[in-house]
Amino acid sequence: MKKILKILAVILVLAFVTIQFYRPNRANPPVIQAETLEATAAVPENVAQILTRSCNDCHSNKTVYPWYSNVSPFSWLLADHINEGRRELNFSVWNTYTAKKKRHKYDEICEQVTNGEMPHNQYLWLHRDAQLSADDVKILCDWAETEKAKIRDEG
């Protein structure tokens, strides 16, 4: 029995070491200024701070990777989250969205933070400062509404 446990432990360690060779690509895609949120929307300092602190790791091409992103299998989970987050909403390519999509995303931003669905819970375990206060939620919602109204005016 002891021997089997030992063998199992060795296999586990070997497996862990082996998967370290399989790391996802962490290079951030380039940020093209004309494609960004800032290129088309007014982003006041207080809004920018919230987005940087709580959203941009998953919703921009300016991800700051934590140390554990070097360790598989966490690296895979992380890469998955970031890819999915960027696919849904990427402030670095915001200006490539149609007017209709921008309006919809502004609604979604307020909805997601009001319902406490964003930022993700798992993210908050390791990024406590990303937690939004009631003030933060209001700032984001007011901002989203103002910017959304501007798009409507553009026709």
Q: List binders of ligand HEC among 20-49 (CB under 6 A).
A: none
Nearer to ligand HEC, 101 or 150 (CB): 101
DSSP conformation letters of 51-84: HHHHTHHHHSS-----GGGGSTTHHHHHHHHHHH
Which of residues 36 and 85 has its CB atom nearest to ligand HEC in the complex?
85
Interactions with ligand HEC, residue window 85-144 (CB under 6 A)? 85, 88-89, 105, 108-109, 112-113, 118-120, 123, 132
Chain-centroid distance, C-alpha 90: 8
| Count of positions on this chain that bind ligand HEC (CB under 6 A) | 20
- Kind and range of the H or E run holding 28: none
Give the angle subtended at the CA of 41 by the CAs of 38 and 46, to the nearest 5°: 75
User: Which stretch in 23-31, 67-75, 82-90, 147-155 sits in contact with ligand HEC by CB under 6 A?
Assistant: 82-90
